[in-house]
Structures are given as C-alpha cells and as structure tokens.
Amino acid sequence: MSEVSSKELYEFKRTLKELSEKKGRGTELVSVYIPPDRQISDVAKHMREELSQSANIKSKQTKKNVQSAIEVIVQRLRLFPRPPEKGLVLFVGMIPKGGPGTEKMETYVFEPPEPIQTYTYHCNSEFFLEPLQHMMDVKEIYGLAVIDRKEATIATLKGKRVDIIKHLTSGVPGKHKAGGQSQRRFDRLIDLAAHEFKKRIGEHMNDSLLSIENLKGIILGGPGHTKEEFLKGEYLQYELKNKVIATVDTSYTGEFGIREVIDKSMNLLEEMDVIQEKQLVQKFLKELIDEHGLASYGEKEVRENLQMGAVDTLLISEDLVQTRKTMECINCGHKVKITYKDPNEDKELVCESCGDKMKVVKAKDLVDDFVKMAEEVDSTVEIISTETEEGIQLFKAFGGIAAILRYKVN
Ligand code: ZN
C-alpha cells in the first residue's frame, strides 16, 4: 500500500468535510463505490436497473433529480474502461444553493486513498461518506500489549483490524510459601525471571513497533501490576515509552485481553486526534512564553523560517482559506506574490518598477503553499482542526499559521 502524504490526506479531509455539508432537497443524492476488481459494464447495468426502479419514486421532483443523477453517472462511467487501482467513487446530485429552484447538479468523481472493499449504491438526502471516513482511520495505527506475569501478547490495531504480532510465555513459577532461607532465595529467582520476561517483552515490542511510521500510540493492558512495572522499568525504548497513552485493567490475557483493551479504550481512541492536536498547540504556546523558546507564528515569519529550513513542526489551521497569488506586470514582467484573505478578492495592483498594471498569473491555496514548502525541507506538517479551544486559538490569535522551530533564528 503506498503511503499517502500529509498534504493528500489534508486535501482528502477537506473534500470529505465539503461533501458532508451538502444536503439534497429530497432523497436524491447518489453515491457509488466501485471496487477495483468490479467490471464497469456490471456497474452500468446496475445503474440502468436503478433508473427503471426510480420510476416508482412518488415525488415528481425527486424522481427527476435521481434520474438525472444516474444519467450523469452512466456518462461518467464511459470514461473508464476499468476502475483505477484503488477503485472509483462517484457522488452526484442536485444541491440547492438557496431557495427552491436554485438546485445545481454537482458531480464528484475520484480515486480514494485506500482500495474500496465493497460495491455500494446509495441514494439519500446526503452523500454516503462512511467508507471514505473509515479510510481515514486506517491511517492510524496503535500498538497494544497485554501483559501479566505468565504471558504477554503484542498486537497492532489498524482501523478496525487487529493483527497479533507475538505471543510470549514466561515460565515464571508462581510464588509459594516455603519459609526461611530457601524462600528468600526462591523469591529472588522469581524476581529475576520476571525481570527477564519483561526484558523479552520490551525487546519484542521494540522490534515490531519502532519501525511503524504512523504509530499513534500504545496501550498496555493486563490483569495485574506487571504492566505498570513494565512501563516504569527500562524495558521499552524511550520513543515507544513516550507513546504509551494508557494502561487498562483487563480480566484476560492473550487475544481476549487484546479485545478487552480495545473495547475499554474506544472513547480514548476516538479522542486521540483531539488530544494530539491540543498537545501540539500547547507545546507551541509553551515555547512561545519561554524567552529562549522555539516558537514562530504568522504568515511572514513562518514562511521565512521554513525557507531557512528552521521549522521542525508546522502547525496550520484546517479553517485557513486564503490564496497566494503571483502577479506579473503586463509591461515589464516584474513579479510579486500576495496573499489574499478572500480568495475571490481582486485588487488592482500597480507595478512598483514601471507603474503599469499587474495581472494574476498563478493562484494557489495558502495551505498548499505552506505544506509544499514544509515538505521540501522535511518539516513535519500538522493540520489542526478548530474542534478544540487550542485549535481556535491557533486560528484566531496566530492567523492559523505557527511553527515549532529546530533552532532559533534572529
Ligand atoms: Zn512593470
């Protein structure tokens, strides 16, 4: 599976958000998901069936709109001899722009970032976006481990898929009472064996989890205290240790224990995005109040830092909608770049070297502009939503653009 870049992911997220805001007047928005191995001719055949089915729709307006949408789909399908590598998604429907009679046919056709598994035809007052939203989850991988004195199971969670990586048994005997000298020696041997076991668990977790690039967090589970001892000790590599987001008490070990950990962490996992965004903005704010801190914000300053390669992490607000336009003088060819807060705005601009008029020769989304600069110098890009207070602060107080620097630039 090819990796999707943060920019593609951002664009995909933005498309999803736009699509989720579209509502039809009736149940007349059509969504079609075509898996890569589906014959286009089969889909076209199905569309003709749906077209004749739609004759039964009671509302005249809805009937007409559904039929037009299906016809658009049939036309579009003709452009594809076969589905693309990851399949094809089509969203077609009449979207009202205001009052009655303002509907316009909108058509979205694209290849999704992950392969489509199931063929789906859906007709409703909204577009059917769940399979695409689910693809976003798949980008998030968690490491899981269930540990007690006797056994350990290591797994990964990718979307809804659980992969068991390793199952270990300790061979550590249970404590028993013998009393006296031999009891102490026996206890020491048990402790040593327990330590060796935790060391082995750590080695296996380091081996299997450190190489996962998108590892978002680790959750440890298990019935007793072994998981806490494991976390406190020097068993996990520090990078992985920093990713441990929770320890969960479970009744079971093994695969059942892993399932239990997932069930008990569901809310936490859903909130992870939000938690991570909060932490990133908080880190920036902490750097900002520190006299020698590594914070930078605002379009101009962050752009300069990016161009110098000084940005470690770029924080950019999802709600930032501005355009970077390149203007060129029609007489002498002098060029300037200007950011427009309103993408539709057009200022009359006069050339500073000859006084003639300037025209727009290139227009680019400001977020894209920054993401591209960041990718060129290997800065990490974090797109921050406005779902948290911190995210709102980033958007409102810092113009939606901030950075944590690699080093301080004067
Ligand atoms: Zn000029």
Encode pLDDT of 140-161 as tens digits.
Answer: 789 999 999 999 999 999 877 7
Q: How far is the CA of 350 from the centre of ligand 1 (A)?
A: 8
Check: pTM over 0.85? Answer yes or no: no
CA distance 116 to 264: 29
Inter-axis angle of helices 6-20 and 130-138, to 10 degrees?
Answer: 160
287 φ, ψ (degrees, to nearest 5):
-65, -35
Q: How remote is the CA of residue 360 from the centroid of ligand 1, in Å?
A: 13
Between the alpha carbon of residue 324 and those of residues 345, 363, 370, 396, the distances in Å are 11, 6, 10, 19
Report yes or no: 50 and 121 within 8 Å, Cβ to Cβ.
yes
Distance 184 CA to ligand 1 centre (A): 90
Task: Report the share of the chain in percent with pLDDT over 70.
Answer: 95
Residue range 358-379, pLDDT digits in tens: 999 998 889 989 988 998 898 9
Cα 322 to ligand 1 centre (Å): 26
pLDDT at 1: 33
- What spacing in Å lies between the alpha carbon of 357 and ligand 1's midpoint? 7
Quote the pLDDT of residue 288.
Answer: 94
Distance 358 CA to ligand 1 centre (A): 8
Report the run of H or E that residue 192 belongs to, with start and end.
helix 180-209
User: Model confidence at 80, in pLDDT bands (50, 70, 90)?
Assistant: very high
Q: How close is the Cα of 351 to the center of ligand 1, in Å?
A: 5
CA of 328 from ligand 1 middle (Å) equals 8
Q: How far is the CA of 344 from the centre of ligand 1 (A)?
A: 24
Three-state secondary-structure class, residue 399:
coil
Q: How far is the CA of 331 from the centre of ligand 1 (A)?
A: 5
**Spatial distance between the Cα atoms of 248 and 227, rounded to a whole number of angstroms:** 9
Q: How far is the CA of 270 from the centre of ligand 1 (A)?
A: 54
Tell me the CA–centroid distance for residue 356 and ligand 1, in Å: 5
Q: How far, in Å, from the CA of 347 to the mean position of ligand 1? A: 16
Calculate mean pLDDT across residues 229-248. 94
Rounded CA separation 165/163 (Å): 6
How far apart (Å, rounded) are the C-alpha atoms in residues 71 and 22? 20
CA 334 / ligand 1 centre spacing (Å): 5
pLDDT tens, 1-49? 334 555 666 778 778 888 999 999 889 999 999 999 999 999 999 999 9
Which regions of 259-317 does DSSP assign to beta strands (E)?
295-297, 311-317
Say how many Å lie between the CA of residue 354 and the centre of ligand 1. Answer: 4
Which of 397, 258, 231, 236 is CA-nearest to residue 315?
397
pLDDT band of 137, cuts 50, 70, 90:
low
Question: Cα dist. 32→9, 91, 116, 119 in Å?
Answer: 21, 7, 11, 8
Residue 363 CA to ligand 1 center (angstroms) comes to 19
> Cα-Cα-Cα-Cα dihedral of 344, 349, 353, 357, to 10°?
100
Residues 6+ apart with CB under 8 A from 43: 32, 34, 77, 119
In angstroms, what is the span from residue 326 Cα to ligand 1's centroid? 14
Distance 335 CA to ligand 1 centre (A): 8
Residues 372, 376: Cα–Cα separation, whole Å: 6
* Confidence at residue 189, expressed as pLDDT on a 0 to 100 scale: 87
Q: 338 C-alpha to center of ligand 1: Å?
A: 16
What six digits make up the tokens of 268?
């936490």
Phi, psi of 26 (to 5 degrees): -125, -165
CA torsion angle 161 277 214 269 (round to 10): -20
Percentage with pLDDT > 90 across the chain: 65
Quote the pLDDT of residue 3: 44
Distance 135 CA to ligand 1 centre (A): 49
The arithmetic mean of pLDDT across residues 124-128, rounded, is 95
Closest among 147, 146, 310, 143 to 226, alpha carbons compared: 147
Given 3-state DSSP classes, what are the helix, strand and coil percentages for the chain, each rounded to the nearest 5? 40, 25, 35
